[in-house]
Amino acid sequence: MEELKQRILKDGIVLNNSVIKVDKFLNHQLDITLLDNIGSEFYHHFMDQEITKILTIEASGIAVATLTALYFNVPVVFARKSESITHPEDKYSADVYSFTHEKQFNIFVSREYLKPGDKILVIDDFLANGQALLGMARIVHEAGATLVGAGIVIEKSFQDGGKLVRDAGINVFSLARIKNMSDSGITFL
């Protein structure tokens, strides 16, 4: 998505060779017009798939998932994160290891909000190591729902997640795929 790539080049701050800060439009301040256009891109890609729900993960996925859901006219469910090891019976849950935070999270969704027969589109802001997406895929599977695909705003293609999730059979559609980045610039696939 050209508009997004240009915005990353303009406002993205490369913190080191593996982390990019996009607080100006995606992770802290939200550019709603850009997010609306992103929602439209996801809609046009997945519009024929009879999506019944959008699933994301708190916190940064929620805004982009919400604007996307307006196009599909379906609810957004966001997986919640807890560090608790208690898994109440009425929740689907998955353990997710974050390489960035070097920490294990438990993510969960109430059974009330995912049902067999649901056709789920996962939306998230970043695809890095793929663990969050794989965790959400496990939750969808546990619910007996169908994971139609995943719409990702920024994929860091130099990290392992993209290959991992595609090898797992997930239909991933990323709007900007960063090939590499450094102080001297960002290149896209």
Residues that bind ligand G4P (CB under 6 A): 19-22, 27, 59-61, 98-101, 125-132, 156, 161
* Residue 2 beta carbon to ligand G4P: minimum distance, rounded to whole angstroms: 20
For residues 69 and 136, which CB has a smaller minimum distance to ligand G4P in the complex? 136
β-pair partners for 82: 106
**One-letter identity of residue 11:** D
Among candidates 48, 71, 46, which has minimal Cα distance to 173?
A: 46
For residues 118 and 125, which CB has a smaller minimum distance to ligand G4P in the complex? 125
For residues 50 and 95, which CB has a smaller minimum distance to ligand G4P in the complex? 95
For residues 52 and 121, which CB has a smaller minimum distance to ligand G4P in the complex? 121
For residues 113 and 158, which CB has a smaller minimum distance to ligand G4P in the complex? 158
* Residue 167 beta carbon to ligand G4P: minimum distance, rounded to whole angstroms: 14
3-state secondary structure the chain: CHHHHHHHHHHCEECCCCCEECHHHHHCCCCHHHHHHHHHHHHHHHHHHCCCEEEEECCCHHHHHHHHHHHHCCCEEEEEEECCCCCCCCEEEEEEEECCCCEEEEEEEEHHHCCCCCEEEEEEEEECCCHHHHHHHHHHHHCCCEEEEEEEEEEECCCCHHHHHHHCCCCEEEEEEEEEEECCEEEEC
* Residue 83 beta carbon to ligand G4P: minimum distance, rounded to whole angstroms: 12
